[in-house]
Protein backbone atom coordinates (compact mmCIF):
# COMPACT_ATOMS: atom_id res chain seq x y z
CA UNK A 1 0.00 0.00 0.00
CA UNK A 2 1.28 3.47 -0.93
CA UNK A 3 0.94 6.66 1.12
CA UNK A 4 -1.51 8.09 -1.41
CA UNK A 5 -3.73 5.00 -1.00
CA UNK A 6 -3.85 5.50 2.77
CA UNK A 7 -4.69 9.19 2.46
CA UNK A 8 -7.42 8.41 -0.07
CA UNK A 9 -8.92 5.82 2.28
CA UNK A 10 -8.98 8.38 5.10
CA UNK A 11 -10.61 10.96 2.83
CA UNK A 12 -13.23 8.45 1.68
CA UNK A 13 -13.93 7.34 5.24
CA UNK A 14 -12.75 3.76 4.69
CA UNK A 15 -10.30 3.87 7.62
CA UNK A 16 -10.01 6.03 10.73
CA UNK A 17 -7.13 8.31 11.67
CA UNK A 18 -5.58 5.88 14.17
CA UNK A 19 -5.47 3.05 11.63
CA UNK A 20 -4.02 5.39 9.03
CA UNK A 21 -1.27 6.44 11.45
CA UNK A 22 -0.35 2.80 12.09
CA UNK A 23 -0.23 2.07 8.38
CA UNK A 24 1.94 5.10 7.66
CA UNK A 25 4.40 4.13 10.39
CA UNK A 26 4.74 0.69 8.80
CA UNK A 27 5.62 2.10 5.39
CA UNK A 28 9.28 2.78 6.19
CA UNK A 29 10.64 -0.75 6.34
CA UNK A 30 9.78 -4.41 6.67
CA UNK A 31 11.67 -6.44 9.28
CA UNK A 32 12.84 -9.94 8.47
CA UNK A 33 13.80 -12.05 11.48
CA UNK A 34 16.55 -10.34 13.47
CA UNK A 35 18.99 -9.75 10.62
CA UNK A 36 17.38 -7.40 8.11
CA UNK A 37 15.16 -4.34 7.90
CA UNK A 38 14.13 -4.04 4.27
CA UNK A 39 13.79 -0.44 3.11
CA UNK A 40 10.70 -1.01 0.99
CA UNK A 41 10.21 2.69 0.18
CA UNK A 42 13.79 3.61 -0.70
CA UNK A 43 12.99 4.00 -4.39
CA UNK A 44 10.05 6.29 -3.65
CA UNK A 45 12.12 8.31 -1.18
CA UNK A 46 15.46 8.59 -3.02
CA UNK A 47 14.92 7.34 -6.56
CA UNK A 48 17.40 4.51 -5.98
CA UNK A 49 16.31 0.88 -5.61
CA UNK A 50 17.37 -1.22 -2.67
CA UNK A 51 19.47 -4.28 -3.49
CA UNK A 52 20.45 -7.38 -1.54
CA UNK A 53 24.22 -7.73 -1.18
CA UNK A 54 24.64 -11.50 -1.12
CA UNK A 55 28.26 -11.35 0.00
CA UNK A 56 28.64 -12.30 3.70
CA UNK A 57 25.04 -13.58 3.89
CA UNK A 58 23.93 -17.19 4.19
CA UNK A 59 22.19 -18.46 1.02
CA UNK A 60 19.03 -19.21 3.00
CA UNK A 61 18.93 -15.63 4.28
CA UNK A 62 19.34 -14.24 0.76
CA UNK A 63 16.41 -16.36 -0.43
CA UNK A 64 14.20 -15.30 2.48
CA UNK A 65 15.00 -11.60 2.08
CA UNK A 66 14.38 -11.84 -1.66
CA UNK A 67 10.94 -13.30 -1.02
CA UNK A 68 10.04 -10.38 1.24
CA UNK A 69 11.35 -7.82 -1.26
CA UNK A 70 9.38 -9.35 -4.11
CA UNK A 71 6.22 -9.33 -2.01
CA UNK A 72 6.77 -5.62 -1.33
CA UNK A 73 8.30 -4.31 -4.55
CA UNK A 74 7.54 -6.97 -7.19
CA UNK A 75 11.25 -7.24 -8.08
CA UNK A 76 14.42 -7.86 -6.04
CA UNK A 77 17.97 -7.22 -7.22
CA UNK A 78 20.70 -9.35 -5.65
CA UNK A 79 24.38 -8.48 -6.19
CA UNK A 80 27.71 -10.28 -5.65
CA UNK A 81 26.05 -13.68 -6.01
CA UNK A 82 28.28 -16.70 -5.39
CA UNK A 83 27.77 -20.22 -6.74
CA UNK A 84 26.18 -21.29 -3.44
CA UNK A 85 23.82 -18.31 -3.46
CA UNK A 86 22.84 -19.04 -7.05
CA UNK A 87 22.17 -22.69 -6.28
CA UNK A 88 19.86 -21.74 -3.40
CA UNK A 89 18.04 -19.13 -5.47
CA UNK A 90 17.50 -21.54 -8.37
CA UNK A 91 16.07 -24.08 -5.93
CA UNK A 92 13.70 -21.51 -4.43
CA UNK A 93 12.44 -19.79 -7.57
CA UNK A 94 11.40 -20.93 -11.04
CA UNK A 95 13.29 -20.04 -14.20
CA UNK A 96 10.51 -17.60 -15.08
CA UNK A 97 11.01 -15.77 -11.78
CA UNK A 98 14.79 -15.51 -11.92
CA UNK A 99 17.16 -13.53 -14.18
CA UNK A 100 20.84 -14.48 -13.78
CA UNK A 101 23.65 -12.34 -15.22
CA UNK A 102 26.83 -14.42 -14.99
CA UNK A 103 29.17 -11.56 -15.89
CA UNK A 104 27.68 -9.11 -13.39
CA UNK A 105 27.09 -11.83 -10.78
CA UNK A 106 23.61 -10.45 -10.24
CA UNK A 107 20.22 -12.10 -9.91
CA UNK A 108 16.87 -10.38 -10.33
CA UNK A 109 13.93 -12.20 -8.75
CA UNK A 110 10.43 -11.05 -9.69
CA UNK A 111 6.78 -12.03 -9.75
CA UNK A 112 6.46 -11.46 -13.50
CA UNK A 113 6.24 -7.69 -13.18
CA UNK A 114 8.68 -6.09 -15.65
CA UNK A 115 11.13 -3.40 -14.60
CA UNK A 116 9.55 0.05 -15.11
CA UNK A 117 10.58 2.16 -18.07
CA UNK A 118 11.34 5.81 -17.34
CA UNK A 119 12.63 7.04 -20.68
CA UNK A 120 16.09 7.55 -19.21
CA UNK A 121 19.12 6.36 -21.21
CA UNK A 122 22.46 5.34 -19.69
CA UNK A 123 25.63 4.58 -21.64
CA UNK A 124 27.96 1.89 -20.31
CA UNK A 125 31.56 1.73 -21.56
CA UNK A 126 34.36 -0.65 -20.61
CA UNK A 127 38.02 -0.09 -21.38
CA UNK A 128 38.92 -3.79 -21.63
CA UNK A 129 37.14 -7.12 -21.53
CA UNK A 130 38.42 -7.63 -17.97
CA UNK A 131 36.41 -4.56 -16.96
CA UNK A 132 33.11 -5.92 -18.28
CA UNK A 133 31.90 -7.56 -15.01
CA UNK A 134 31.89 -4.21 -13.16
CA UNK A 135 30.34 -2.52 -16.20
CA UNK A 136 27.64 -5.18 -16.38
CA UNK A 137 26.74 -4.67 -12.73
CA UNK A 138 26.25 -0.97 -13.46
CA UNK A 139 24.17 -1.88 -16.52
CA UNK A 140 21.87 -4.22 -14.56
CA UNK A 141 21.30 -1.59 -11.86
CA UNK A 142 20.50 1.16 -14.37
CA UNK A 143 18.10 -1.15 -16.17
CA UNK A 144 16.32 -2.09 -12.93
CA UNK A 145 15.94 1.63 -12.25
CA UNK A 146 14.02 1.97 -15.49
CA UNK A 147 16.67 3.10 -17.95
CA UNK A 148 17.48 1.91 -21.42
CA UNK A 149 21.16 0.93 -21.44
CA UNK A 150 23.58 1.14 -24.36
CA UNK A 151 26.80 -0.84 -23.86
CA UNK A 152 30.14 -0.30 -25.60
CA UNK A 153 32.86 -2.73 -24.53
CA UNK A 154 36.61 -3.14 -25.14
CA UNK A 155 37.46 0.36 -26.42
CA UNK A 156 40.39 1.18 -24.11
CA UNK A 157 43.33 3.48 -24.69
CA UNK A 158 45.63 0.72 -25.95
CA UNK A 159 43.63 0.99 -29.19
CA UNK A 160 41.85 4.32 -28.85
CA UNK A 161 40.77 4.28 -32.50
CA UNK A 162 38.14 1.71 -31.47
CA UNK A 163 36.40 4.31 -29.31
CA UNK A 164 35.60 6.96 -31.93
CA UNK A 165 32.95 5.18 -34.06
CA UNK A 166 31.41 3.50 -31.00
CA UNK A 167 31.18 6.81 -29.16
CA UNK A 168 29.42 8.44 -32.11
CA UNK A 169 26.84 5.67 -32.09
CA UNK A 170 26.39 5.99 -28.33
CA UNK A 171 25.92 9.77 -28.55
CA UNK A 172 23.17 9.25 -31.13
CA UNK A 173 21.14 7.47 -28.41
CA UNK A 174 21.16 10.69 -26.31
CA UNK A 175 22.27 9.19 -22.99
CA UNK A 176 21.66 11.22 -19.88
CA UNK A 177 24.85 9.90 -18.27
CA UNK A 178 27.69 7.52 -19.12
CA UNK A 179 29.51 5.04 -16.88
CA UNK A 180 33.07 4.27 -17.94
CA UNK A 181 34.71 1.24 -16.32
CA UNK A 182 38.49 0.98 -16.52
CA UNK A 183 41.25 -0.82 -14.64
CA UNK A 184 45.05 -0.62 -14.82
CA UNK A 185 45.86 3.10 -15.30
CA UNK A 186 42.17 4.11 -15.61
CA UNK A 187 42.61 6.70 -18.37
CA UNK A 188 39.50 6.09 -20.46
CA UNK A 189 36.91 7.99 -18.33
CA UNK A 190 38.99 11.17 -18.60
CA UNK A 191 39.09 10.86 -22.39
CA UNK A 192 35.38 10.13 -22.72
CA UNK A 193 34.53 13.03 -20.42
CA UNK A 194 36.46 15.35 -22.72
CA UNK A 195 34.47 14.24 -25.77
CA UNK A 196 30.84 14.20 -24.59
CA UNK A 197 28.44 16.81 -23.20
CA UNK A 198 26.79 14.60 -20.56
CA UNK A 199 27.94 13.61 -17.05
CA UNK A 200 30.51 10.79 -16.94
CA UNK A 201 30.95 8.49 -13.96
CA UNK A 202 34.36 6.87 -13.66
CA UNK A 203 34.25 3.29 -12.38
CA UNK A 204 37.75 2.08 -11.39
CA UNK A 205 38.12 -1.68 -11.69
CA UNK A 206 40.44 -3.97 -9.74
CA UNK A 207 42.25 -5.26 -12.80
CA UNK A 208 45.98 -4.70 -13.13
CA UNK A 209 48.87 -5.92 -11.02
CA UNK A 210 52.12 -4.80 -9.41
CA UNK A 211 52.51 -1.23 -8.13
CA UNK A 212 49.15 0.50 -8.26
CA UNK A 213 47.37 -2.77 -9.01
CA UNK A 214 43.93 -3.94 -7.83
CA UNK A 215 42.34 -0.72 -9.06
CA UNK A 216 44.36 1.69 -6.94
CA UNK A 217 46.14 3.38 -9.87
CA UNK A 218 42.84 3.56 -11.78
CA UNK A 219 41.10 5.22 -8.83
CA UNK A 220 43.86 7.79 -8.30
CA UNK A 221 44.07 8.52 -12.02
CA UNK A 222 40.34 9.20 -12.21
CA UNK A 223 40.46 11.40 -9.11
CA UNK A 224 43.23 13.42 -10.79
CA UNK A 225 41.28 13.73 -14.05
CA UNK A 226 41.83 16.98 -15.94
CA UNK A 227 38.32 16.73 -17.42
CA UNK A 228 35.17 16.93 -15.32
CA UNK A 229 34.44 13.52 -13.86
CA UNK A 230 32.55 11.91 -10.98
CA UNK A 231 34.30 8.86 -9.52
CA UNK A 232 32.99 5.96 -7.44
CA UNK A 233 34.94 3.43 -5.42
CA UNK A 234 36.85 0.47 -6.89
CA UNK A 235 34.49 -2.13 -8.42
CA UNK A 236 31.43 -0.15 -7.22
CA UNK A 237 29.29 -1.05 -10.21
CA UNK A 238 26.08 -0.72 -8.23
CA UNK A 239 26.86 2.84 -7.16
CA UNK A 240 27.97 3.88 -10.65
CA UNK A 241 24.87 2.43 -12.30
CA UNK A 242 22.52 3.92 -9.71
CA UNK A 243 24.09 7.38 -9.91
CA UNK A 244 23.95 7.38 -13.71
CA UNK A 245 20.34 6.21 -13.64
CA UNK A 246 19.33 8.95 -11.21
CA UNK A 247 20.75 11.56 -13.56
CA UNK A 248 19.16 9.99 -16.65
CA UNK A 249 15.79 9.60 -14.94
CA UNK A 250 15.77 13.21 -13.77
CA UNK A 251 16.51 14.36 -17.32
CA UNK A 252 13.76 12.14 -18.73
CA UNK A 253 11.26 13.40 -16.13
CA UNK A 254 12.15 17.03 -16.87
CA UNK A 255 11.68 16.40 -20.58
CA UNK A 256 8.27 14.86 -20.00
CA UNK A 257 7.22 17.76 -17.80
CA UNK A 258 8.34 20.29 -20.41
CA UNK A 259 6.44 18.44 -23.14
CA UNK A 260 3.27 18.48 -21.06
CA UNK A 261 3.59 22.22 -20.46
CA UNK A 262 4.12 22.89 -24.16
CA UNK A 263 1.02 20.92 -25.04
CA distance 46 to 64: 25
Give the CATH architecture of domain 121-253: 3-Layer(aba) Sandwich (3.40)
Give domain limits for the chain: 3-110, 121-253
Q: What percent of the chain has pLDDT over 90?
A: 72
Burial of 20 (C-beta count, 10 Å sphere; 0-12/13-18/19+): middle
Whole-prediction pTM: 0.85
Least confident span in 71-80, 81-90, 104-113, 176-185: 71-80
What's the whole-number mean pLDDT along residues 69-96?
A: 94
How high is the pLDDT of residue 260?
Answer: 72
Summarised one tens digit per residue, pLDDT across range 145-194 is: 999 999 999 999 999 999 999 999 999 999 999 999 999 999 999 999 99
Do 157 and 258 touch, CB atoms closer than 8 A? Answer: no
Amino acid sequence: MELTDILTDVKDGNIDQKTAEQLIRSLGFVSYSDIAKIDSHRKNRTGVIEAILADCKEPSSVVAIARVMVSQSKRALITRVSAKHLEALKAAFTDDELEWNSRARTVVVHDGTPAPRTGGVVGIISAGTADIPAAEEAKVVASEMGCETVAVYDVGVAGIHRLVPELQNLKSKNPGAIVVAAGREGTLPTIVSGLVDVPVIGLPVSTGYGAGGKGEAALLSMLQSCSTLAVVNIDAGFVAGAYAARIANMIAAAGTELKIKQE
